[in-house]
Each structure stands twice: as structure tokens, then as C-alpha cells.
């Protein structure tokens, strides 16, 4: 009898407790919300982790509790190290972060860092990147005079810089790893023809130790595996704009580039897309490529512009 009374409340007690029911419900712990995926940030040429303090602040405000790691590797002049060397260093840094995040991670990679991240996605067999956000990165290469180039190579203009960049010595500088005079072929849907490019395409294909490989423009034994790895990514978010002032052409941020006449062809007209050499066509077909152009933003302001963050980055950090 006592045991029975200890398990059940008399009806009168239930009636007395009813007025307090709303307070009891408010005091109950809220259901657990799924946490945000960790975010890994990779900086660009001559940058450091400090450059991303504004981006870190935005993420903390909009997605509180997110674990954000701004990798502090190859800072300042060390960012001129060959890109394959940087890829190896960043790979060692991201592996333990990914291992602790079985639900996946997001990559935000700025400028030169976007190429480092694309190579990471290619060489890592078991990466778990949900969103790869490429922030004003010369994904199809760089071909234009900038302050960086004038500081590094003061006596060379873009028309003859290939003589330095396409040498073994030049390939020891990161920026030469993605110096791209013009693609080996240009595609035009208007005449449905592929025509050879006269701008030293043989030198680019034979001498480019980085871009030509991750683009699948030059045959190598890992091409099939790299393409398969790259296609593991959930979303590829491409961000750039016409007022960047550094990436040349600025459409390189969207995998556009010059043809033989220095007219910009969009991604869908590039040979690497038509051949689907590393997976762009497949990603676009499954709706995994997002393009977010923004005018009025200079190259050094992409990671500190709040409007850009809210429009192009924040929606993909779930």
C-alpha cells in the first residue's frame, strides 16, 4: 500500500500542481540543438591568422559555439614557399581537426589559400569537407601585373614573366605555381572549335608543377584518384568580383580565364570544364557549385566585409 502511494499522486495533488505547470516547463532543459560544423580558415599570400579577426567575430556572432581554426602556417614571406610544400603542411594541420568532426567541416580559403585548399581536396582520400568556400582565389591562375608581382619581379612585365615562372627556379615561388599565361586550348561555343593558343602553352603544361596538375591539364598517375577525392566535397562556393584589383582576370575566381585573344571565357567554356578533368562539370550538374559575385570589394577586404559574409559565406556554415 505504501509503495503504491509512493508511485501515484492523489487527484487532489494533481489539481494543486496545475497552476505551476507552465513554470515547470520553462525550467526544463531545452532540447539539444545540433552543433555547427567546425570551420577551418586558410590565409593567402603574405597574410597571417590575424588578418581574419573580423571574419572570426562574424562567425562567433551568427553561429555561436562554432569551433573556428584559423591556421597559422606559412605566414608572411613564408607564404612564398612552393605550394606543394604548403599543401603538405596544411594537410598535417587539418587531419586531426577532421578526425574530431565526423559530421564534416567547412573550409574558408582566401586568395592563394583557395588553391592550397583545392589541392588538399584532391590529395586527401578521406576528407569530409561539406562546404569549400573559395574567397577571391585565382582558381584558373593569375595573368596580370599586381603590386605583389612588381615587388617580387620588378624588372619583368606579365608578357615575359613566364621566362622566370616557367623555370625550375621560378617554380620555387608560390605565385609562379599558378602563373598562367593562357590555357593550352581555348573553347568557343560560337564556332564549336578548339584552337591552339600561341601564348607559350607548351611551357605552361611542361613547367607548371602545380596548377596544370590539379587542373588535370597534364597527365599524371594520380589524376583519377584526385578527381574522385575532389568530388567528395558537398558544396563549392565561389566568391569574387570585378573590383578585386589583384586577381587577373577577376573571373578566375569563378574558373573563368582568357582565350587566345585575351577575351575572358566563363567556366563552362573552359577546356578543363568541357573535359570534366577534375570534376567541375559533375559538381555543376549535381547543383553543388554556388557562384556569389560581389562588386565594390577590393582584394584585401573580402574577409572583413560584413555584407559579403552575410550574403555569400554565412548561409553555408550550417
Question: Which of the residues 47, 197, 201, 244 is marked catalytic?
Answer: 244
* Distance set, CA 119 to CA 8, 90, 214, 274 (Å): 65, 10, 6, 20
Angle between helices 112-123 and 83-99 (to 10 degrees): 60
- Distance CA(160)–CA(139), nearest Å, equals 22
Q: How many CA atoms lie within 13 A of 17 on its CB side?
A: 9
- Distance CA(228)–CA(297), nearest Å, equals 34
- Distance CA(198)–CA(185), nearest Å, equals 9
Q: Are 257 and 183 in contact (CB under 8 A)?
A: yes
299 belongs to the catalytic site: yes
Angle between helices 223-230 and 112-123 (to 10 degrees): 110
Which grid coordinates are listed for 27? Answer: 525550467
**What does the DSSP assignment read for 211-234?**
HHHHTT-S--TTHHHHHHHHTT-S
* Cβ burial 63-101 (10 Å sphere, 16+ → b, else e): beebebbbbebbeeeebbbbbbebbeebeeebeeebeeb
- Distance CA(170)–CA(175), nearest Å, equals 9
Q: Are 254 and 312 in contact (CB under 8 A)?
A: no
Question: Which of the residues 51, 79, 111, 131 is marked catalytic?
Answer: 111
Which grid coordinates are listed for 172? Answer: 620555387
49 belongs to the catalytic site: no
Query: Known catalytic residues?
Result: 111, 244, 299
Amino acid at each position: 500500500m505504501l509503495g503504491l502511494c509512493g508511485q501515484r499522486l492523489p487527484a487532489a495533488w494533481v489539481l494543486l500542481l496545475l497552476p505551476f505547470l507552465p513554470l515547470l516547463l520553462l525550467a526544463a532543459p531545452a532540447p539539444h540543438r545540433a552543433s555547427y560544423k567546425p570551420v577551418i580558415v586558410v590565409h593567402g599570400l603574405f597574410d597571417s591568422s590575424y588578418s581574419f579577426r573580423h571574419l572570426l567575430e562574424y562567425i562567433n556572432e551568427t553561429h555561436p559555439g562554432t569551433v573556428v581554426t584559423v591556421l597559422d602556417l606559412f605566414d608572411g614571406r613564408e607564404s612564398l614557399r612552393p605550394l606543394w610544400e604548403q599543401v603538405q603542411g596544411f594537410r598535417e594541420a587539418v587531419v586531426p581537426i577532421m578526425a574530431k568532426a565526423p559530421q564534416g567541416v567547412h573550409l574558408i580559403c582566401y586568395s592563394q589559400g583557395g588553391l592550397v585548399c583545392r589541392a588538399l581536396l584532391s590529395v586527401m582520400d578521406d576528407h569530409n569537407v561539406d562546404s569549400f568556400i573559395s574567397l577571391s582565389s585565382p582558381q584558373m591562375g593569375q595573368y596580370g601585373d599586381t603590386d605583389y608581382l612588381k615587388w617580387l619581379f620588378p624588372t619583368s612585365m606579365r608578357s615575359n614573366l613566364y621566362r622566370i615562372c616557367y623555370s625550375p627556379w621560378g617554380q620555387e615561388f608560390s605565385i609562379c605555381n599558378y602563373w598562367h599565361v593562357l590555357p593550352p586550348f581555348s573553347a568557343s561555343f560560337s564556332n564549336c572549335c578548339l584552337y591552339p593558343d600561341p601564348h607559350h602553352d607548351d611551357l605552361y603544361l611542361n613547367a607548371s608543377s602545380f596548377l596544370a596538375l590539379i587542373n588535370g591539364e597534364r597527365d599524371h598517375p594520380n589524376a583519377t584518384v584526385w578527381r574522385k577525392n575532389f568530388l567528395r566535397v558537398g558544396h563549392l562556393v565561389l566568391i569574387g568580383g570585378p573590383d578585386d584589383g589583384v586577381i587577373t582576370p577577376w573571373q578566375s575566381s569563378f574558373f573563368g580565364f582568357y582565350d587566345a585573344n585575351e577575351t575572358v571565357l566563363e567556366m563552362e567554356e573552359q577546356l578543363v570544364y568541357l573535359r570534366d578533368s577534375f570534376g567541375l562539370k559533375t559538381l555543376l550538374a549535381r547543383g553543388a557549385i554556388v557562384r556569389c559575385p560581389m562588386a565594390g570589394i577590393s582584394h584585401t577586404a573580402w574577409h572583413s566585409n560584413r555584407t559579403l559574409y552575410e550574403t555569400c559565406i554565412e548561409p553555408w556554415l550550417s
